Amino acid sequence: MRRGASRKTGQPNSTSSVNSSPADLFRSASSKATSKELERIDNLFYSYANGSSGMIDPEGIETLCSDMEVNHTDVRILMLAWKMKSEKQGYFSLEEWRRGLKALRADTVNKLKKALPELEKEVKRPSNFVDFYSYAFRYCLTEEKQKSIDIESICELLDLVLGSQFRAQVDSFVEYLKTQSDYKVINMDQWMGFYRFCNEISFPDLSNYDPDLAWPLILDNFVEWIQARQS
């Protein structure tokens, strides 16, 4: 009987792990860490989500704000919604929550709270703020096919979003909006026009305001209202 043919087969290849490069090992560890982080982000989401809707609803957002010791009307909550690209006012989906918290590198309430000051700085960069300002308007369009927002809500939104940067202009425009009777709602063009007005027009002297340029009519009327008061 020949024994020489009894060659051993099927032994594990012990060189595969030895041959793994440092980069491969790093990628593997990084992937595991990312997976764990995502799991914590998801668990945090479900601790605030409504069980039946599968979303964080207004009640869940209020609880989150309470846990972060931040008022639910704080502008930074609107900034958080912007970071998540939240589509429905007062609601966060799991996908939106993941997008925002991964970007902020926050997988606990404490980390999320600590991320808010940096988020505020990010939003206030000029290149980001225009997008945030536009988002704030769209976020308040709560009805299907809605294109404008009532004056009372606009006044509150202006104070929240622009009040810290352009206090005098916002106070004056809000006063005008509350006393005039020509406009019941504000549209996106008027909303964006006011931001441009704040950035470009000398206030309160209005010396460089040219009504012949393409300003929304409401701003022409606003300027006339100011000038009438000044005279």
In tens, the pLDDT along 148-179 reads 999 999 999 999 999 999 999 999 999 999 99
Report residue 34's pLDDT band, with 50, 70 and 90 as the boundaries: confident
The residue among 92, 104, 96, 99 whose CA lies nearest residue 49 is 92
- pLDDT of 225 higher than 60: yes
- Structural domains in the chain, sorted by start: 30-123 (1.10.238.10), 127-230 (1.10.238.200)
- pLDDT, residue 231, reads 85
Per-residue model confidence as pLDDT tens digits over 187-209 = 999 999 999 999 999 999 999 99
Cβ–Cβ under 8 Å, residues 5 and 54: no
Examine the pLDDT at 17 and tell me if it is beyond 90. no
CA distance 44 to 101: 10
DSSP result, 192-217: HHHHHHHHHS-TTT-TT--TTSS--H
Block residue for tokens 């606003």:
222
CA distance 204 to 175: 14
